[in-house]
Structures are given as C-alpha cells and as structure tokens.
Chains A and B, each alone.
Chain A
C-alpha cells in the first residue's frame, strides 16, 4: 500500500522568510512518481512538480526548490523568500508505475496549510 505523510498541518511564517514543507512517503514499487500541488483559496489544485524515483537530483525553479532523498523516503519542498501569494494548502502525492490501462491512482498527503504573514 502507498502512503504519503505530511506531518505539518499548518505553518505560518513572516514574509521573506524561508519555509520548508515536509513530505515522507511509503511504497513498495521500485518505480514511482512524486508530485507537489498547490491549492490556493480559489480551490483548484495547481501542479508544481513531478519527480520519478530514478532521478534524485534536486530541482530549483525560481524561489521553489525540492529535495528528493530516497534514503529517507522524503520529498521536501522549500520556498525561499516567501511572499503573501505563496499562502495556500500544499499537497504532496505519490503514484506507482505508469501504464496505459493500469490503476493510475494518485495517493495524496493530508496537506500543509501555509500562511505567509505580511
């Protein structure tokens, strides 16, 4: 069974501070994919990043960076110099091997509500 744990339910930081959102996963698959989605107050989830299990290289996109460590089954997300627009709920998610007709279910964590205080 797959499981995603986001232990931080809510985080508040002052604007311009850095913040890291934790994600720990469990899976028996050797090939799997990890995702981060952002849910702003408007409700729709916005895709941020997908990483496959064979690629442990960290990734940076502007103020966002992701640290994938298979040894600790973690896929943490850091926002540098946070801004008020970063306030949202962030979800980490996991899926197994991709096939055209298999179960492509995403397993989501419970989310972390991030509030950036002006």
Chain B
C-alpha cells in the first residue's frame, strides 16, 4: 500500500543535540511538507519542497533544516538552534496536478521530546 512513513515515532533528545526525523513516501508525489503541531496552535508549516533539490522555508523555519536529494525522501533536522523543539512533527505530500492540488496525505507523525 502507498503511503508516508515517518520515523522514529517517538524520540527523546538532550538539549544541544541535533536530531533528524525521517519521512519517506512511495506515492510518487512531487511536493512534500513538514508541519509542526503544538497543543492549541494547530499546524504550522516548517519547510516544503515542490521538486527534488529544491525547498522553501515555511512560517517557522528557524532552527530547522531539510534536504531533498530523492523524490521519495524529505528528512527534517531539528538543530540545537531551535529554542523549543518539543512538539509533534507531521510530514505530508501532495498529489501532482491541479485536480488534486493541496489535498495532502499525511504520515503518522514523530513526537520529539527534549529532556
């Protein structure tokens, strides 16, 4: 079955450490997204990528970095510069073309806790 796989599901990190969250999709989607979810704040866009080797900052990109070397993969690194990294992180991808535009498919998320 096609879908988005995020790993790890739960992650604990000490302050000052970088951590990378994995996102892999086998849907052949061009665009991929990273959202952060905090209680009471909904989802906020961190980074998005419309094609391989290209990505743009979202609303809250500071302290995060991404890469898009393959169509299937869009890893997110939470760096030590991110002041409040404890959150639930969701990866998503989008169907190509106008008929499916902006209908996002989401992964099951990764919950990061900074100790």
On chain A, the number of residues with a Cβ less than 8 Å from chain B's Cβ atoms is 24
Could you say which of B41, B43, B50 has the most chain A C-beta atoms within 10 Å of its C-beta?
Answer: B43
- CB-CB < 8 A to B40: which residues of A? 9, 110
Q: Which residues 48-62 in B have Cβ within 8 Å of A in the complex?
A: 48, 50, 56, 58-59
The answer to the question of B19 belonging to the interface, with a C-beta cut-off of 8 Å to chain A, is no
Q: Given the interface contacts A9-B40, A101-B50, does A106 sit within 8 Å of B102 by beta carbon? A: yes
A50 CA to B59 CA, complexed, in Å:
23
User: Which of A42, A50, A104 makes the CB contact (< 8 A) with B31?
Assistant: A104
Mask, A26-49, CB within 8 Å of B = 1, is 000000010101000011111100
Closest to A46 in B: B106
- At the interface, is chain B mostly helix, strand, loop or mixed? strand
A43 CA to B92 CA, complexed, in Å:
12
CB distance from B41 to the nearest CB of A (A): 6
- CB-CB < 8 A to B50: which residues of A? 101, 104
Mask, B25-51, CB within 8 Å of A = 1, is 000000100000000111111001010
- CB-CB < 8 A to A104: which residues of B? 31, 48, 50, 94, 101-102
The answer to the question of B17 belonging to the interface, with a C-beta cut-off of 8 Å to chain A, is no
- CB-CB < 8 A to A101: which residues of B? 50
User: Which of B42, B45, B108 makes the CB contact (< 8 A) with A110?
Assistant: B42
B108-A95 in contact (CB<8A): no
Q: Which residues 47-84 in A have Cβ within 8 Å of B in the complex?
A: 47, 50
Q: Given the interface contacts A91-B42, A98-B98, A98-B101, does A45 sit within 8 Å of B58 by beta carbon? A: no
A95-B102 in contact (CB<8A): yes
A4 CA to B40 CA, complexed, in Å:
13
CB distance from B53 to the nearest CB of A (A): 15
- CB-CB < 8 A to A109: which residues of B? 42
- CB-CB < 8 A to B101: which residues of A? 98, 104
A50 CA to B105 CA, complexed, in Å:
13
